[in-house]
Amino acid sequence: MKILVVEDESDLLFEIRSFLEKENYICETADNFVDADEKLAIYYYDVALIDITLPGGSGLKLIENLKRKNTDTGIIIISARNSLDDKLTGLDLGADDYITKPFHLSELNARIKALLRRRKFAGARTVTFEEIELIPEQGTVKVNETELVLTKKEFELLLFFISNKNRLLTRESIAEHLWGDDIDLADNFDFIYTHINNLRKKIMKNGGNDYIKTVYGTGYKFTTA
């Protein structure tokens, strides 16, 4: 899962990023309005953590711009302001949750997990697709009740596919979502094929069906069709 943290306090930004990366999230950051607005316009994130007061603009405007894209990115406002007006304005604009500084990182993590469950998996802790069962918070996968041994990237890839089942995913979008913004520097995306091929083999070796359909020249689709 990919998260953007928008926060102008450098120490807090570092602490949040370090914590979330240890929790196995792909984490990108921005410390001002302009950089955050550009990243939200170009890239897709599962969750955006947005401070209200930023150099160059308001976090509330970021929320407004993000919602105008008609994206399903989950939004949690992080702010020093314990103001009911700010909270209500942010929620009215489309934010999903609100947390006030100072806060415990474990509480922030719990809110992120709850938001992902609501938005991606209808509140369920277990994600099921045909004979495949995932528990995202534990990082475990079973096929026909047999647990698979997947690498971190293979697990994230399978979760990304299931979260976007029946949708065409380009190789570029897969790479950017799983490896972050720096993937723009890659010469090609041949390594995506390797990860997909390894994942496909492991699923089928345990009696699962091959749901990863190649759309030649474009990307992949995870579907029963």
The backbone region for 207, taken as left when phi is positive above 0, alpha when psi lies in -120 to 50, beta otherwise, is left
Per-residue pLDDT of the chain (225 residues; tens, 9 = 90+): 889 999 999 999 999 999 999 988 889 999 999 999 999 998 889 999 999 989 999 999 999 999 988 678 999 999 876 677 777 888 899 999 999 888 999 999 999 999 988 877 766 788 899 999 998 888 899 999 999 999 988 998 999 899 888 989 988 888 888 777 666 555 666 788 889 999 999 999 999 999 999 998 888 999 987
Structure tokens at 210: 């091959």
Structure tokens at 66: 């993000």
User: Which residues, in sequence order, are CB contacts of 115 under 8 Å at separation 6+?
Assistant: 47, 74, 76, 96, 97
pLDDT at 187: 60
Closest CA to 211 of 160, 155, 162: 162
Sheet holding 2-6, edge to edge: 26-30, 2-6, 47-51, 74-79, 97-100
For residue 49, give the H/E element and its range. strand 47-51
pLDDT at 26: 87
**Is residue 50 classed as helix, strand or coil in its secondary structure?**
strand
In order of their start, the domains of the chain are: 2-121 (3.40.50.2300), 127-222 (1.10.10.10)
